[in-house]
Amino acid sequence: MDSITLVEHEQKEVNLSNIEVDTLRKFFPKQLDVWPTQEPGRYLVKAHSYAGMIILPTEKTIYINPKLPIQTLFALLAKVYDPNKEIFDDQPQPYTTVNELFEFIVSFFAGHTEDLIARGLLRGYQSLVEDSQAIRGRLLIAETIHHNPGLQHKHWCSYRHFTTDIPENRVLLWTAFVLRGWNYVDVSLFGRLHRIQHILSDVYLDPLARTLIDRLEFHRLNDAYKPALTLAKLILDYLTFSGSQGNEPFLAYLIDMDVLFQQYLSTILRQETEQSRYWTKEEENHSLDLGKKITIRPDILIYLDDSPYLVVDAKYKLSASQEDLYQMLAYCHAVGINQAVLVHPGSEASPLGAITMRGPGNIRVDYQSLNLSGGPAELEAQGKILVTKILQTIPIIG
């Protein structure tokens, strides 16, 4: 199968058909730039800060590998989706490319779902109203008279049905369904996903299943579902599924590295401040102007009791100009504090130490880096060191 392999921010000259160019420009303008060259059918493709893969309508696959090691990418994902290590551990895994990582996650999801099926699927009561020949549950007299006047053999009834069609199972079914179209190296995955769909055939195939996850509350009855649902969330958050209908079907699994880096930073700060007087708030709205017409949202604010003391901003890729500093200046002015920390990967070149900008209060911006070159255990240690450094920048409070 024809394929193109890129690394984040890499550009490469490749052959593309008209439908491939149209699909990339229409559906993936944030992930890739596509420019024509002087040679017909040849295009210059440049990747942005995304990692993953796109299967085009022609079945050509574009792989975008992260600039950091795959083990580190997985460690970032594991920390964000499983911060307490209930599912993933720190053991290195045998994947070296982004498609191998994706297949590992899919296999892990299938395994946990198969385990739930072996234990017995969770059921729940569902309220139904239907027009039936037999009276079942409670007879709805007004509805029967309105819809079936003169018909003595038809009755509108309301009853409770004990069924597997519950939100937890809808998430599992939809995830297995959208994963069916991939070309897996492990061919057994096709059969496993098909069997999951078959066993869940009585469950409604809900395209909005991803939204159900955030509304679920875990308790003793559904706690066993947590690993499978966490993996489903990890899959659905980055998977774009166009379906098999229409003129331009495609599949894509693309991780926004800018967002993931911010989510990771938020997670470790939240965890490390849980037992202290500090607490964090993410993307809180603040007004930059007196008329409250311009709203900005700092990535993270660290509070002490009810007062913000530090702005923390995640920059997976630093700007070549001073845009990052201008942004930090605006955040500090809007929040009303004069201390900020800009966190970036260790691979990004940055000013040494801190920069103090002139103005009311002389706003100080500290640059802190995070080493993104190791696996889960190394990243965990580096994350703790980073949080310590960030908290040390908070002004001493009397």
> Can you give the pLDDT at residue 114?
97
Q: What pLDDT digit, counting tens, does each position of 207-263 carry?
A: 999 999 999 999 988 999 999 999 999 999 999 876 544 455 678 999 999 999 999
- Cα separation, 218 vs 221, in Å, equals 8
Q: What angle do CA 157, 158, 162 make, to 5 degrees?
A: 125
The SS3 of residue 254 is strand
The SS3 of residue 318 is coil
**Every domain of the chain and the residues it spans:** 1-67+246-255, 68-123+168-237, 125-163, 273-392
Asked if 128 and 159 count as a contact pair (C-beta separation under 8 A), the reply is: yes
> Can you give the pLDDT at residue 398?
44
Most distant CA pair in the chain, distance:
86
Radius of gyration of the chain (CA): 26
Element (H, E) at 13: strand 11-15
> Does the domain spanning 273-392 belong to CATH 1.10.3470?
no
- Cα separation, 278 vs 270, in Å, equals 9
CB under 8 A, 24+ apart: contacts of 179-184: 179/106, 179/109, 179/235, 179/239, 181/55, 181/244, 181/251, 182/55, 182/106, 182/251, 183/1, 183/55, 184/103, 184/106
Asked if 288 and 333 count as a contact pair (C-beta separation under 8 A), the reply is: yes
- Cα separation, 287 vs 303, in Å, equals 18
Strand ranges in 216-353 using DSSP code E only, listed in sequence order: 239-241, 251-256, 278-282, 286-287, 295-296, 300-304, 307-314, 339-345
> Can you give the pLDDT at residue 7?
95
Q: pTM for the whole thing?
A: 0.86
> Can you give the pLDDT at residue 95?
84
**Which residue, among 392, 398, 385, 382, has the nearest Cα to 68 in the 3D structure?**
382
Local confidence pLDDT in tens for the 398 residues of the chain: 689 999 999 999 999 999 999 999 999 999 999 999 999 999 999 999 999 999 998 889 999 999 999 999 999 999 999 998 889 887 777 788 999 999 999 999 999 999 999 999 998 877 666 766 566 666 666 676 666 675 656 777 775 667 888 999 999 999 999 998 888 999 999 999 999 999 999 999 999 999 999 999 999 889 999 999 999 999 999 998 765 444 556 789 999 999 999 999 999 999 988 878 889 999 999 988 888 889 999 999 999 888 899 999 999 988 777 888 888 888 998 988 889 999 999 888 777 678 888 766 788 899 999 999 888 888 999 999 999 999 888 876 54
Here the tokens at position 133 are 């020949």
> Can you give the pLDDT at residue 245?
46
